[in-house]
Amino acid sequence: MGKRRKTNVDIRELLHRIQKRESDRAIARQLKMNRKTVAHYRRWAEKQGLLGKELPSVGELSELLEETFANSKLLRVVPPSSLFDKWWNAYAGKSWRLPPFISG
Protein backbone atom coordinates (compact mmCIF):
# COMPACT_ATOMS: atom_id res chain seq x y z
CA MET A 1 0.00 0.00 0.00
CA GLY A 2 1.53 3.24 -1.12
CA LYS A 3 1.68 6.35 0.98
CA ARG A 4 -1.34 8.53 0.50
CA ARG A 5 -2.56 11.43 2.57
CA LYS A 6 -5.78 10.91 4.43
CA THR A 7 -8.56 13.40 3.99
CA ASN A 8 -10.89 14.30 6.83
CA VAL A 9 -13.58 12.27 5.10
CA ASP A 10 -11.27 9.21 5.06
CA ILE A 11 -10.62 9.57 8.78
CA ARG A 12 -14.31 10.05 9.55
CA GLU A 13 -15.10 6.85 7.61
CA LEU A 14 -12.31 5.05 9.48
CA LEU A 15 -13.78 6.19 12.83
CA HIS A 16 -17.26 5.15 11.73
CA ARG A 17 -15.99 1.64 10.95
CA ILE A 18 -14.18 1.51 14.30
CA GLN A 19 -17.47 2.39 16.01
CA LYS A 20 -19.11 -0.51 14.15
CA ARG A 21 -16.47 -2.75 15.77
CA GLU A 22 -14.80 -3.79 12.53
CA SER A 23 -11.30 -5.20 12.91
CA ASP A 24 -8.26 -3.10 12.07
CA ARG A 25 -7.37 -5.59 9.35
CA ALA A 26 -10.80 -5.31 7.70
CA ILE A 27 -10.77 -1.50 7.91
CA ALA A 28 -7.26 -1.33 6.47
CA ARG A 29 -8.24 -3.59 3.58
CA GLN A 30 -11.42 -1.66 2.75
CA LEU A 31 -9.87 1.80 3.02
CA LYS A 32 -6.53 0.78 1.50
CA MET A 33 -4.35 1.90 4.37
CA ASN A 34 -1.87 0.29 6.73
CA ARG A 35 -3.15 -1.58 9.80
CA LYS A 36 -0.76 0.41 11.98
CA THR A 37 -2.38 3.61 10.75
CA VAL A 38 -5.82 2.25 11.63
CA ALA A 39 -4.55 1.21 15.08
CA HIS A 40 -3.04 4.66 15.61
CA TYR A 41 -6.33 6.42 14.83
CA ARG A 42 -8.21 3.89 17.00
CA ARG A 43 -6.01 4.80 20.00
CA TRP A 44 -6.36 8.52 19.21
CA ALA A 45 -10.17 8.26 19.00
CA GLU A 46 -10.30 6.38 22.32
CA LYS A 47 -8.23 9.11 24.01
CA GLN A 48 -10.50 11.79 22.51
CA GLY A 49 -13.64 9.96 23.64
CA LEU A 50 -15.03 9.78 20.11
CA LEU A 51 -16.05 6.14 20.01
CA GLY A 52 -18.94 6.15 22.45
CA LYS A 53 -20.91 8.94 20.85
CA GLU A 54 -21.95 10.38 17.50
CA LEU A 55 -18.97 11.39 15.38
CA PRO A 56 -18.29 15.09 14.94
CA SER A 57 -18.89 16.74 11.58
CA VAL A 58 -16.05 16.81 9.06
CA GLY A 59 -15.32 20.44 10.00
CA GLU A 60 -15.23 19.71 13.74
CA LEU A 61 -13.11 16.62 13.11
CA SER A 62 -10.71 18.73 11.06
CA GLU A 63 -10.31 21.19 13.94
CA LEU A 64 -9.76 18.39 16.45
CA LEU A 65 -7.15 16.74 14.22
CA GLU A 66 -5.41 20.07 13.69
CA GLU A 67 -5.27 20.70 17.45
CA THR A 68 -3.98 17.22 18.19
CA PHE A 69 -1.48 16.82 15.38
CA ALA A 70 -0.45 20.44 14.79
CA ASN A 71 3.27 19.64 14.98
CA SER A 72 3.16 16.18 13.46
CA LYS A 73 4.48 15.83 9.92
CA LEU A 74 3.59 12.14 9.97
CA LEU A 75 -0.16 12.59 10.32
CA ARG A 76 -0.85 15.76 8.38
CA VAL A 77 -4.42 15.77 7.10
CA VAL A 78 -5.20 17.40 3.78
CA PRO A 79 -8.68 18.67 2.98
CA PRO A 80 -9.97 17.35 -0.37
CA SER A 81 -10.13 20.83 -1.92
CA SER A 82 -6.41 21.43 -1.37
CA LEU A 83 -5.62 18.15 -3.14
CA PHE A 84 -7.49 19.44 -6.18
CA ASP A 85 -5.75 22.81 -5.94
CA LYS A 86 -2.37 21.09 -5.82
CA TRP A 87 -3.25 18.98 -8.86
CA TRP A 88 -4.64 21.96 -10.76
CA ASN A 89 -1.55 24.08 -10.09
CA ALA A 90 0.72 21.25 -11.19
CA TYR A 91 -1.07 20.41 -14.45
CA ALA A 92 -3.13 23.42 -15.54
CA GLY A 93 -1.81 25.33 -18.48
CA LYS A 94 0.60 22.63 -19.59
CA SER A 95 0.47 21.72 -23.23
CA TRP A 96 0.02 18.02 -23.73
CA ARG A 97 1.45 16.23 -26.73
CA LEU A 98 0.81 12.68 -27.76
CA PRO A 99 3.83 10.40 -27.63
CA PRO A 100 5.36 9.69 -31.07
CA PHE A 101 4.20 6.08 -31.10
CA ILE A 102 0.56 7.24 -30.81
CA SER A 103 0.60 10.27 -33.08
CA GLY A 104 2.12 8.29 -35.92
Question: Residue 38, Cβ neighbours under 10 Å: how many?
Answer: 23
Query: What does each C-alpha distance from 88 to 24, 26, 83 come to in angstroms?
Result: 34, 34, 9
Residue-range domain boundaries for the chain: 8-91
**pLDDT band at residue 27 under the 50/70/90 scheme:** very high
pLDDT at 23: 95
pLDDT at 82: 60
Q: Quick: pLDDT tens for 34-92.
A: 999 899 999 999 998 998 889 888 888 888 888 887 766 545 555 555 665 666 566 66
Query: Which of 9-13, 20-24, 73-77 shows the lowest per-residue confidence on average (mean pLDDT)?
Result: 73-77
State the pTM of this model: 0.62
